[in-house]
Amino acid sequence: MKPLTLILGSSGKTGSRIVNKLNQLNYPLRLGGRKTIPAFDWEKSEGWDEVIQGIDQIYISYQPDLAHPNSIHHIQKLIELSKKNNVKRLVLLSGRGEPEAVACEKLVENSGLEWTILRSSWFSQNFSEGMFLGQILERNVIFPKLKSTEPFVDLEDLTDLAVDALVKNVHIGKKYELTGPTLLSFQDAFGQIAKELNETISYEEIPLDAYITMLNEYGLDQETIWLIRYLFETVLDGRNESVVDDFEKVMGKKPKDFTNYVKVTAKSGIWDVVKT
């Protein structure tokens, strides 16, 4: 019997890919999100028990990010309910360089359950499915001043390993750091996209405070603005300027680089501007 897997964040960047890959392997699934039935909402723990009942293993993608102050309390509560419902295995998506994420990792490690932790760098897909897509479509990028570079990780690689951790026992008790094979500045990343599109994408760097003011003027919600400031001040301060080969060691293949991601994504048309 294949284990029944709960995917938390099942409609998100990682969760949706894991759902597709486990469906291809004919694994029974339960989807967890605010719009699923039953619904799973990180801010409404009274409904969690119904979602977890009968589950064998859980993939955990915390929203909005493990850096959020509420994450530690929520992960602890999830572990308690998992143990109550005889869940056997947890696979946690974590982040590099976030003190709160490390605290959540320790809760999982000390849970008494089988566990695997995937500590990820920034996703390449943030440029096509996330916070940077709108600016690329406008061909006008305004970005905080940064000195650090980032080893962007491709979500196809990350979710390949997540699925492996859910279907095999070799990853039990393992913590993996997932990066792409090269370090890039954000300016260079946007530049690669512009070159592949054979178009100009203007790029302007401004102080972080001015960037936050701009986000407020756009009407972005305060929780998201807080998180963006935190990530730019903490995670992108240079502490993560390193490439790690965990993925290649455990999966036996090299991680996809950002250039590969750009070429594949450009062909999808997601960055094309519809002319009227």
- Is 72 within the bounds of a domain? yes
pLDDT tens track for 205-240:
999 999 999 999 989 889 889 988 988 888 888 999
Domain membership flag for residue 226: no
The better pLDDT of the pair 118, 238 is held by 118
Which secondary structure element, helix H or strand E, spans residue 36, and what is its range?
none
Does the pLDDT value for residue 185 go beyond 60? yes
In a domain, 90, yes or no: yes
Residue-level pLDDT at 276: 53
Tell me what pLDDT residue 234 has.
Answer: 84
Predicted pLDDT of residue 275:
64
Q: What is the mean pLDDT of residues 100-113?
A: 97
> Is 205 within the bounds of a domain?
no
Q: Is the pLDDT of residue 201 over 90?
A: yes
Q: What is the CATH number of the domain that holds 81?
A: 3.40.50.720
What is the pTM assigned to this prediction? 0.95
Q: Please report the pLDDT score of residue 130 as a whole number.
A: 83
Give me the mean pLDDT over the 149-153 stretch. 97
Asked, for residue 95, whether it belongs to a domain, the answer is: yes
More confident residue, 235 or 13: 13
Q: Is the dihedral of CA 19, 65, 177, 75 positive or negative?
A: negative
**Least trusted range by pLDDT, from 114-118, 121-125, 163-167, 231-235:** 231-235
Structural domain including 113 reads: 5-123+153-179+242-255
Average pLDDT over residues 63-86: 96
- Tell me how far CA of residue 123 lies from CA of 69, 101, 150, 163, in angstroms: 22, 16, 10, 17
Q: What is the DSSP letter of 145?
A: -
Residue 246 lies in a domain: yes
- Tell me if 171 is assigned to some domain: yes
pLDDT band with cut points at 50, 70 and 90 for residue 115: very high
Looking at the 3D structure of the chain, how many domains does it have? 1
Q: Which residues of 178-203 are buried (b: 16+ CB within 10 A; e: fewer)?
A: bbbbebbebeebbebbbeebeeebeb
Determine the average pLDDT of the residues in 229-255.
94
Determine which of 4-18, 26-40, 168-182, 224-238 has the lowest per-residue pLDDT on average: 224-238
Q: Is the pLDDT of residue 10 over 70?
A: yes
What are the tens digits of pLDDT across the range 19-62?
999 999 999 999 999 999 999 999 999 999 999 999 999 999 99
For residue 179, give the DSSP letter: -
| Residue 189 structure tokens | 């990343």
Residue 269 lies in a domain: no
Which of these ranges, 90-94, 181-185, 231-235, has the smallest mean pLDDT? 231-235
